[in-house]
A and B are shown apart, each in its own frame.
Chain A
């Protein structure tokens, strides 16, 4: 890309500047219109609605608010880190050149390609405490009464984290596979010549090369995980007793109880967590863009 940039600097003055300029503007107008009408206006309007002191007072008074913040923190921290570490490990597995592994990768991606609603509801019924397959088999095989997977807060959160990972692990594995493939082979070959252990190969070759994409992925995934509505809503519905709500589901919860402004206040509350990550990411990503 450096080459292109230099090229531009050296580009001869254009004759039909005005026409080019016209098209440059005309072609970007559709996106600008979309952005203005469906991002700038709604966000501005929503923030305006939710920014009244009364809305925040209602939000902070709500007995479930603190639990929700905790849940969100646990959900994001555990889900993202667990997912990314597993993805990092699996990426080493999926770059191996066996035919069966290639086929397996095709199967693996299924979770990501499928829509959420059927797959998450399937998991929800699998774990239904009374008649789900899991507890039924526990009862049948071991005569034990399985736990209330969806009726205890910690199990519910744990399952929601697993569902989230189930759904998005293939995507991140794919990203990290691509990152691994970009590491030059000869580095490993010379490491082998020097008699490096597996750990040393990872520590001194793989990780230095993977660190940057891994961190970018962690950041991006944190933001998206923070906004994961389906994994909670379709699995536990935020229950029991609103004990598994997260910020992403709180908006709809307030809509249900006719308090739109409090819902917007909840969204605004997530902003201090998101914005630093967003700005950091934008910096990283646009660096890539221009590098």
Chain B
């Protein structure tokens, strides 16, 4: 590369560098604390004085008061995320198929009303939702999180599915009907195969939403063995032996799965999820 070309592109490189630093600095900081020995966690240096995997060993072996239930909590997070994804898909497919393929009269209204939930910030729904979960007897059980997360994920799911299924030619359904297919057969053999990529995107979206949620989990789950990882990490803040290194190591472990899932399914995610918001 010639010097002039480099100079021409210099502004681009500078933007690139700024973006990289901006994004990576907090993550780097997280990692160096996670890799520090417990008593050097807050040394505040750019290059850590010592590096150790001790914190990760402590966590994976559940060898500290605060990470006794790490594996249970990991399992809770997983269970809630997976069931949320499945239920969101079930609810979303049902609603979308009914509205856009079976053309339920008044279906548009349902979509619009659903959208209303999506548009009201989750933090404002949290208090009333918490209160009613108590009345249903779901508090401190995975169901409270699952239903809350399905409630938050479903409107967006239905909306994105409406966008996607509108692109499927209706003639296909008609052709199947003429061949004598029942609605369920159309769902199974026409709709689902064509919608598969969107389903993957929606499923992952719901999965990540549930996995990453802090506020709802903090409010609705209580027992250490029922907690998901997010509120379990919050508890670290209240202890006087400053287990920051341990906490950041646990945080890194907690951040790993969603990041991996995201990258594995990135192709579907970007197309699927931005489809709606782009237009307009």
Binding site for B on A (CB under 8 A): 1, 4, 7-8, 11, 14, 16, 19-21, 23-32, 34-35, 37-39, 41-43, 45-47, 49, 90, 93, 96, 98, 100-101, 104, 106-111, 113-119, 121-123, 125-126, 128, 131-133, 135-137, 166, 170, 174-175, 178-179, 182, 212-213, 216-217, 220, 223-224, 226-230, 233-234, 247-249, 251-252, 255, 260, 263-264, 267, 270, 274, 277-278, 281-282, 284-289, 291
Contact = CB atoms under 8 A, between A and B. Distances in A.
Given A28-B99, A229-B215, A287-B280, A278 B120 contact: yes
Given A27-B95, A110-B23, A122-B27, A46 B279 contact: no
Given A7-B170, A96-B12, A104-B16, A264 B23 contact: no
B264 to A, nearest CB: 11
Which of the listed residues A41, A121, A122 has the most CB atoms from chain B within 10 Å of its own CB? A122
A288 B270 CA distance: 19
Nearest to B136: A37
Given A31-B114, A100-B16, A216-B280, A42 B233 contact: no
B116 A278 contact: yes
B46 A137 contact: yes
B124 A270 contact: yes
27 contacts: A27-B97, A27-B102, A28-B94, A28-B98, A28-B104, A39-B151, A42-B125, A45-B132, A46-B127, A49-B131, A113-B262, A115-B212, A118-B251, A119-B30, A122-B30, A123-B29, A132-B42, A136-B43, A182-B278, A217-B277, A223-B121, A227-B122, A228-B121, A251-B123, A252-B126, A267-B128, A270-B124
A105 to B, nearest CB: 9
Given A7-B170, A121-B251, A38 B129 contact: yes
Contacts of B150: 34, 38
The dominant DSSP class at the B interface is helix
Contacts of B90: 30
Chain B contact residues (Cβ within 8 angstroms of A): what range?
35 or more
A122 B107 contact: no
Given A39-B151, A114-B258, A117-B214, 4 more contacts: A7-B170, A23-B183, A118-B255, A289-B166
B252 interface: yes
The 10 closest A-B pairs by CB, nearest first: A227-B121, A118-B251, A46-B128, A136-B44, A27-B94, A24-B102, A42-B128, A122-B30, A115-B212, A216-B280
A132 B25 CA distance: 13
A34 B147 contact: yes
B98 A42 contact: no
Contact of B214 (A32, A114, A230, A286): A230
Interface of B: 12, 15-16, 19-20, 22-27, 29-30, 33, 42-46, 90-95, 97-99, 102-104, 107-108, 110-117, 119-129, 131-132, 136, 147-148, 150-151, 154, 158-159, 162-163, 166, 169-171, 174, 177, 182-184, 208, 211-212, 214-215, 219, 230, 233-234, 237, 244, 247-248, 251-252, 254-255, 258-259, 262-263, 266, 270, 274, 276-280
